[in-house]
Amino acid sequence: MHAPTNIFLLVCLLFVGNLLQAQNYLLDFSKGDSMDVINNSEVSLRDLELEDLYATPRGQYEIHLDNANRFIIPADRGQLRIEMEKEEEVRNLELITPILSIQETYALSDFFHEQFGLSSELFYEWAQPAEKHKFPRGFYGKTFTKNYPTIGMSVHSSFNKNKPFFIQFQFSWDNWLHKSRGTSVESNQLQGFTFDVPRILESVKAEVSEPAVVEEPEPASEPKEIYEETNPVEVIFDEVEIPEPSEKPEEQTSQWWLWLVGALVVLGGLAVVVRRKS
């Protein structure tokens, strides 16, 4: 009775899992910036109806440029803009990473700046508030302009305390800008470069999860004697004899006159009696 219901739930779960699972996309721009690169891939664009701007799906993108340069970028979302005059050419491609921790962001930023010979001093000044659980203002951006296409990285605040950043990578084939700079495929000097974002993030996780080496504490030394041994001091008390109380109470000599008065009273009484008889 419950078999059809269970099968239906299983199919729904599998369908949802396929939707949520990030796909891998290969975009080979090594031979140019034609829209055929997108059309021949599995990337399904969503028209945003705004100046030839399209949204790209979530997934992991492997981008090939000329001279065997390669970028592997996991993206939560992205945007693609085509040339307004020549709709068959790609103008810009932007890929936005999932939110990142401070360590992950620093690792990606350091790799980007070092590989392209750029200074990261301004980046650390901008990102410093995040170390105090504050959100930096605006965003930080840097672009390597001596290449066709230009390769840029901008860091934004995610307003998440545990993972306060996300990074947006940009590839630009803007013909007008490249003509003004005098850059072209023929002038490219970048060769055999690989920017593997997942590998860099894995190295950060490995460093964080590596157990810290705990040094065994040295055994405590035996306590040293602080005081010198001295001969004991003998305290002698003098014995004091306490007199024992006498058994017979002392006669009170101060009461003799009472006996005298009593005797006179008795004698006086006898005298009165004798006179009455006579």
pLDDT of the residue at 237: 42
**11 or 32, greater pLDDT:** 32
Lowest mean pLDDT among 76-85, 115-124, 215-224, 249-258: 215-224
**Does residue 35 contact residue 159 with C-beta atoms inside 8 Å?**
no
DSSP E strands in the chain: the ranges are: 23-28, 46-47, 53-56, 59-64, 70-75, 77-82, 90-96, 139-144, 150-157, 165-172, 194-196
**Overall size of the chain counted in residues:** 278
Is the pTM for the entire model greater than 0.85? no
Please state, in angstroms and rounded to a whole number, the distance separating the CA atoms of residues 205 and 213: 17
Sign of the torsion angle spanned by Cα atoms 256, 260, 261, 263: positive
User: Where are the domains positioned within the chain?
Assistant: 16-208
**Does residue 75 contact residue 96 with C-beta atoms inside 8 Å?**
yes
Which pLDDT tens digit goes with each residue over 16-51? 444 445 699 999 999 989 999 999 999 999 999 887
122 sits in which H/E element: helix 121-127
Residue 264 clears pLDDT 80, i.e. is over it: no
Which pLDDT tens digit goes with each residue over 159-182? 999 999 999 999 999 988 898 999
Mean pLDDT of the chain: 81
Please state, in angstroms and rounded to a whole number, the distance separating the CA atoms of residues 101 and 160: 9
